[in-house]
Structure 1
Amino acid sequence: MKLAVSNIAWPPAERLRIYRLLAAHGIRGLEIAPGLFLPGSARPFAPSEAELAAALAETQAAGLELVSMQSLLFGVEGAALFGEAGERARFREGLRAAITLAGRLGIPNLVFGSPRQRVIPADMDPAEAEAVALATFGELGEAAREAGTRLGIEFNPAAYGTNFLTTLEEADAFVTRLGHPAVTLILDLGAMHMNGAFAGIAGAVAAVRAPISHVHVSEPDLAPAPASAGAAATALAALARKGYAGWHSIEMKPPPDPGPAVLEAAIGRLLRAAGMAEGKAGAA
């Protein structure tokens, strides 16, 4: 099973220590937020070749592979999927910059979350909102295809401040309706918990029609994840039965001191969950 951790789980100053920790536990995947991966760059979404080479040398020394990118609109002001013309343009430009960076780094997956940049205004007709979203992600999907990557749509619970694609079923239906080969679905376990849907995750995963390109092993409000190896194993086993062979990435906020110990414990639970899931999937 392919296991990863997102770099939002530690401050950039701790990265080399954490890279060694990941390597020591056999974790080979690294998901990045560009602003944290390239903390010294004035333009983390358009870094110089020297800046990229220095950052990649650090990850390669630890045997880490860059597998996904998140926080795609970090630092982009005034971007809104359903906003005025200028806001929509900044939305597209911001995501195109992220797609270009993923292409330069050979990252196969991007996670589009950005809940506050995808709020449907109260006065916008739902049919108009759907048309805007389909056209926008059709265009961005083509940019992703040309860059050799995929743009994954993550459902974000309403509690995170959005009203567009807040459930797995809604995101699945949208991606299926769009039907672009480079626009995929992100499964976020924390969002399933927040939506009160985790108990039915096995059936929900089995019912998904869109291709899943990445999985976030997370908890509500990005608490240390997974909280329970057993619960995570249920989700991982369902994904294995579905035929999912991609990366399962811990997504959590930096914990208070002692941070590395908290992260190490979370990694231990994920490793146990992976082992349990392989047994459950094989027995099914």
Structure 2
Amino acid sequence: MLDYTLCNELLADEGRDLGEQARIAAALGYSGLELAPATLGEAPHDLTAQEITRIRATIEAEGIRVTGLHWLLSGYPDLSITDPAKQGRAQAILLKLVDLCAALGGDVLIHGSPKQRVRPEGMDDAAFLALLAEFFAPVAEAAESSGVTYCIEPLSQAEDDAINTVAQGAELARAIGNPAFRTMIDISASGQTEPPVADLIRHWVPTGMIGHIHANDTNRGAPGMGDDPFPQIVAALVETGWARPVGVEPFRTLIDAPVTAATGIATLRACERACS
């Protein structure tokens, strides 16, 4: 069976604390929470060792774990990984978030954060690739040292003008040349940009370049809230032997966050049963 983890921000947005988030996820059959750092406080990169221990213990007390971090810079609207005047602080914070992920017991960090990675005006593809590779090289080294995987997330053109396809994410990973830095597949974004996603999975998962999968519909809901062909998508994950957690990442609710989370995992499990 595939392993599912729940992105926590919709639950946090409803005012549910980490203990309640973990209880809901565990009751629904998720193996973990994938945390958005901004839900942990105003400066999650500066959490103390005691605070980190408490967060981890709160989640693990419910029988699940922290699987990783995503939306890494959503709580830092003034940062940029492409503006030379802001890159230094952005990189310093990302290095601390790598440490945070490892300390929480997570395995993967997902770098989307489109507002903080805007392509400089007039910069061509080759120069932009070199800029990103230089910025991320130390982050990749830190991830390797910490035993975690850092993934650049291809986003739809509606969100981003930087990296929109899995091929572009893989190109950046190859330019960095560190196995701890990979790309990933966000089913919502890829469903908008380069469908069919099942074919994308069959092509890219065997290459080893994919470090994570986010499961969501192109309408920004959870699996089962739209019309994406999740039976075929799940079949592709099963066929390619995907062994890492799949992060369920809805951006809007059906009734409320728990019902949304329940819809997502129930849909995915039903698709798995159809494969057997």
TM-score w.r.t. length of structure 1: 0.86
Q: Write out aligned runs for 1:1-284 (5 A).
A: 1-11=2-12, 13-15=15-17, 16-36=19-39, 38-39=40-41, 42-83=42-83, 85-160=84-159, 162-195=160-193, 197-198=194-195, 200-208=196-204, 209-220=207-218, 222-227=220-225, 231-253=229-251, 255=253, 257-277=255-275, 279=276
In the aligned structure 1, how far is the partner of 2:256 from the partner of 2:66? 26
Closer, same or farther in 2 for the Cα pair 1:241/1:205, shift >3 Å? same
In the aligned structure 2, how far is the partner of 1:148 from the partner of 1:271? 30
In the aligned structure 1, how far is the partner of 2:99 from the partner of 2:86? 20
Asked if 2 retains the 8 angstrom alpha-carbon contact of 1:78 and 1:90, the reply is no
Amino acid at match of 1:206: R
Aligned residues: 271
Aligned to 1:282: none
In the aligned structure 1, how far is the partner of 2:157 from the partner of 2:46? 32
Q: Please, which moves more after superposition, 143-152 or 214-223? A: 214-223
Asked if 2 retains the 8 angstrom alpha-carbon contact of 1:82 and 1:118, the reply is yes
Per-residue Cα deviation, 1:168-213 (whole angstroms, up to 9, x for no partner): 2222233234331110121110012222x33x22332222234212
In the aligned structure 2, how far is the partner of 1:152 from the partner of 1:276? 30
Q: CA deviation at 1:44?
A: 1.8
Per-residue Cα deviation, 1:120-155 (whole angstroms, up to 9, x for no partner): 122223322111112222221001111221111110
Amino acid at match of 2:73: L
Q: CA deviation at 1:215?
A: 0.8
Amino acid at match of 2:62: A
Q: CA deviation at 1:256?
A: 6.4
In the aligned structure 2, how far is the partner of 1:229 from the partner of 1:63? 33
Q: Which secondary structure does the structure 2 equivalent of 1:214 belong to?
A: strand
Q: Please, which moves more after superposition, 147-156 or 45-54? A: 45-54
In the aligned structure 1, how far is the partner of 2:224 from the partner of 2:184? 17
In the aligned structure 1, how far is the partner of 2:136 from the partner of 2:43? 24
Asked if 1 retains the 8 angstrom alpha-carbon contact of 2:79 and 2:116, the reply is yes
Q: CA deviation at 1:2?
A: 0.9
TM-score w.r.t. length of structure 2: 0.88
Amino acid at match of 2:202: A
Q: CA deviation at 1:68?
A: 1.4
Asked if 1 retains the 8 angstrom alpha-carbon contact of 2:26 and 2:32, the reply is no
The alignment yields a C-alpha RMSD, in angstroms, of 2.3
Q: CA deviation at 1:229?
A: 9.0
Q: Which secondary structure does the structure 2 equivalent of 1:54 belong to?
A: helix
Q: CA deviation at 1:259?
A: 3.5
Q: Which secondary structure does the structure 1 equivalent of 2:183 belong to?
A: strand
Per-residue Cα deviation, 1:33-69 (whole angstroms, up to 9, x for no partner): 1221x24xx5322212332233222211211111110
In the aligned structure 2, how far is the partner of 1:253 from the partner of 1:130? 29
Structure 1 gap ranges (5+): 280-284
Structure 2 gap ranges (5+): none
Asked if 1 retains the 8 angstrom alpha-carbon contact of 2:7 and 2:33, the reply is yes
